[in-house]
Amino acid sequence: MGKLYFKYGAMGSSKTASALMCRFNYMQKGMNVLLMKPKIDTRYKENEMVSRIGLSAPCYAFSSDENLEKFFEKENELSKIDVIIVDECQFCTKKQIEQLRNLTNKVPVLCYGLMTNFKGELFEGSKRLVEICDSLSEIKSVCECGRKATMNARFVHGLICTEGDEISIGADEKYKGMCYSCFVKEQRKAKIYEKIIKYLKILKNKGDAGNWSTDLPMDNVVLQKPFVVYDDDVKAFVDDFKEFEIKNPEKILLVGDDINALRKITMKDKDFDYMMALISYVLKLEKIKPGLLKALIEDNTLTKWLKQIKKSVDHENFE
């Protein structure tokens, strides 16, 4: 009697390569392997299993309504099967996982796939595998930060996705294995971006961002230093940005508080975090240097910074 194995890992953990190497090991010992994958995986030829490191092998692609027990029986009559290997098993239905479980009465079944979707929720097939498999093991991979990758992040136009269809076929161009900490950081980045990037058009070429004012004179009271009463667009931008403001931006920046120094900052290769710190720094300086924000808006310096934030996300250049 065989066992049902579930070998899972995040995107980029070489699951398919592991499945193909497992197939090779069985074949070396003269065993007949039934290699299968769900038909929904359309990245390569339908009846071919391909790893990104270059390994490949012919396989059978099955539909979501196919009975895997019946297919096995038919194939086993033609040539005795010693083991079943299934890749992308997360796309199997609950019923198909149970069919694979039943087949372990005859042969071992090894399933390779993702545990969770881009929202961090269990796929239907993976959930059932966790519930009824005999062996559960992780194929480990690392996040860009060096920690273990556990999340399967989906990206669209450079930003992490938190909504959409559960299944959207893709590889490195769409998905990235990440640790939970980086996953949450990317979610926050997407939230920031969506909230502030609209001001790129609103603040562009704004000739008058606000008006200078002072407190009304009072007897024996020193007049307050002049300050700017900003218009509604700028107030809205400041309010939205403050939700994500960096508390100590000067620790990130190596730049003076002179307006000309701020205007001359070279934007090339400045990343999202740097630009967020730069805007936070200006809002902090505004309290001791009133009118700084007004000047940087009216000469389109702030617009240039917002363009750089957009470029850091979608990697496109803007005039």
Instruction: Name which of 228, 229, 289 is nearest 256 in CA terms.
Output: 289
Crossing angle for the helix pair 94-103 and 124-132, to the nearest 10 degrees: 40
Using DSSP's 3-state secondary structure scheme, residue 116 falls into: strand
φ, ψ (nearest 5 deg) of residue 71: -65, -40
Distance set, CA 177 to CA 48, 89, 168 (Å): 24, 18, 15
Can 88 be counted among the known catalytic residues?
Answer: yes
**What is the rounded distance in angstroms from the CA atom of residue 39 to the CA atom of residue 94?**
16
**What is the rounded distance in angstroms from the CA atom of residue 51 to the CA atom of residue 8?**
15
Query: What are the counts of helices (DSSP H) followed by strands (DSSP E) for the chain?
Result: 11, 13
Catalytic residue, from 73, 77, 88, 144: name it. Answer: 88
Contact 66, 86 (CB under 8 A): no
**Which residues share a beta bridge with 229?**
211
| Catalytic residue positions, numbered | 88
